Amino acid sequence: MYRKFIGSIVICVALAWVPSVLAVGGWADPDGGWDLVIDFDDYPDPLLADDNAALDGNWSHDNGSDQWDGSRPGEGNPGGVALEIVPGGSEDGSDAVVLTLEDTGDPRNDGFADPGSNRKMYFVQDLGSPGVSIFDAGVTLAARWRIHPNPTEAPSDGYTLHDGGKGQIGVVSEVGGVVNVSMALDTGVLNFVGDNQLAGINDTDFQAVWLTAINVADGVQVDIYLNGSDSAAFSGVVTPGDGSDGSLENYLAVGLGSTGRDGAIQIDSISYRNGVFAPAVGTAVEPVGKLATQWGALKSQ
């Protein structure tokens, strides 16, 4: 479900605080809620494919890391993007509506030409704060996703970071120099900004990750928490990535954006807040709208 409220007179000045539909990883929401909460219950099926109004209409894929043809896996060129339902996939055991991305590698090798070869797929969404790097105040990002255990066309594996630190889920600022803080699940590991890894990840189970990042004198202070823990699995100052795509100053990025790699992921939810907020273990909130009847209605549209 997409809920971002931007002033109608001055675009992208501020994002309204909103509570999440679910408590990712069992963590409590940060004080004051989130600036942006995305799950995919209310996304249209089929997804929108317009260059600057993609998925639910609030994403752009008109950038150098994307060649999505607008199709779902098994239709159009090899690979693609689609909504899927994962029975029992939500944290409370109800069904989860997820965003699936499948990258089969470089279909041009098999005669599928650009534009729209599906050799890479990368979506960005504006986070506002024009003229200011969001990393000056810091960012808090919580996401729940996994490597797809049974994709239609692509291999069931993930990605490393690529091309200046781009990943599967990340936050980027291009104000005063590029700062890219991204994450990517690969087989058994979580890759994240600064060419770091956390090993021992059960990657085909949904992983909940809470990340905070803020500009400091020698780079970016990054702290990462896993699956409901309030103890950091990683804490340190890292050199941020410098990979960027698009004309936005501050944005959320999601995708499989490398021509030379292949893999498949399923994203259940993403939450974002400007500022640094360490997680606190909370009480899970019952999700709203994850009903089979709603999914049937979405599919019939």
pLDDT of residue 282: 63
The whole-angstrom separation of Cα 195 and Cα 53 is: 32
Convert the pLDDT of each residue in 241-271 to its tens digit.
999 986 899 999 999 999 999 999 999 999 9
Convert the pLDDT of each residue in 112-169 to its tens digit.
999 999 999 999 999 999 999 999 999 999 999 999 999 999 999 999 999 999 999 9
Query: What's the gap between Cα 110 and its chain centre?
Result: 29
Question: What is the DSSP annotation of 78-99?
Answer: SSEEEEEEETT-STTSS-EEEE
73 CB-near residues (< 8 Å, 6+ apart): 79, 80, 81, 82, 100, 102, 151, 152, 153, 154
pTM over 0.85? The answer is: yes
Convert the pLDDT of each residue in 146-162 to its tens digit.
999 999 999 999 999 99
pLDDT of residue 23: 61
Centre a 10 Å sphere on the Cβ of residue 94 and count the other Cβ atoms it contains. Answer: 15
The whole-angstrom separation of Cα 248 and Cα 263 is: 27
Number of domains composing the chain? 1
The count of residues in the chain is 301
The residue-averaged pLDDT of 204-219 equals 97
* 22 or 146, which is more confident: 146
**Does residue 83 register a pLDDT over 50?**
yes
Q: Which domain holds residue 94?
A: 2-300
Q: Kindly report the CATH number assigned to the domain that includes residue 56.
A: 2.60.120.200
Convert the pLDDT of each residue in 99-114 to its tens digit.
999 999 999 999 999 9
293 CB-near residues (< 8 Å, 6+ apart): none
